Structure 1
Amino acid sequence: MSAAEQARHVLTFCGKCSCGCPELFVDHDAVPERRIVITDDFGQRIQMSVEQLQVIVDEARSGQITTLVDAELALGVH
């Protein structure tokens, strides 16, 4: 059984399609360093601590992630 199957579903990041959107889970049985599980629509997953997720949330909230991604996309490098 995968970590996502053992974990409690918290959020689907899109949910407006049937393509298998990214999802956020909390695995209460995992070690603290791997308690947060994010799956993508290709069946892959990443696991991280609550503290690591909080850094991502804080950077997203401040706009830093959008700024960095937009700058990278503007380069148009393939």
Structure 2
Amino acid sequence: MSGITGLEPLATFCGECDCGCPHLFVDPSAPAECRVLLSDDFGQRVEMSAVQFASLVQEAKAGKLDGTATT
């Protein structure tokens, strides 16, 4: 992904190929409302606040996203 200078990587999803897997970053210098960044393998980006990301993590831990992932 281009333009990742200054971003702190948190996670790579998949990572078992060379297809440009989705990545999760934190940008400590960004405004609070867009500090967490998720990039996909098509070069798109989603920016969210740490509060929004925490809500997503909480919902995932509660199992609310379990049905979305199918093999």
Task: In structure 2, give the amino acid aligned to 1:54.
Answer: A
How many residues are aligned here? Answer: 69
**Gaps spanning 5+ residues in structure 2: where?**
none
- The structural deviation recorded for 1:6 is 2.9
Alignment correspondent of 1:52: 52
Alignment correspondent of 1:34: 34
Alignment correspondent of 2:23: 23
TM score, norm. by length of structure 2: 0.84
RMSD: 1.8
TM score, norm. by length of structure 1: 0.78
Deviant stretches of 4+, over 4 Å: none
Q: Secondary structure at the match of 2:66?
A: helix
Larger-gyration structure (1/2)? 1
Task: In structure 1, give the amino acid aligned to 2:34.
Answer: R
Deviation per CA, 1:21-64: give whole Å up to 9, x if none.
11011101100000001000000001000010011111111110
Q: Distance in 1 between matches of 2:10 and 2:58?
A: 18
**Gaps spanning 5+ residues in structure 1: where?**
74-78
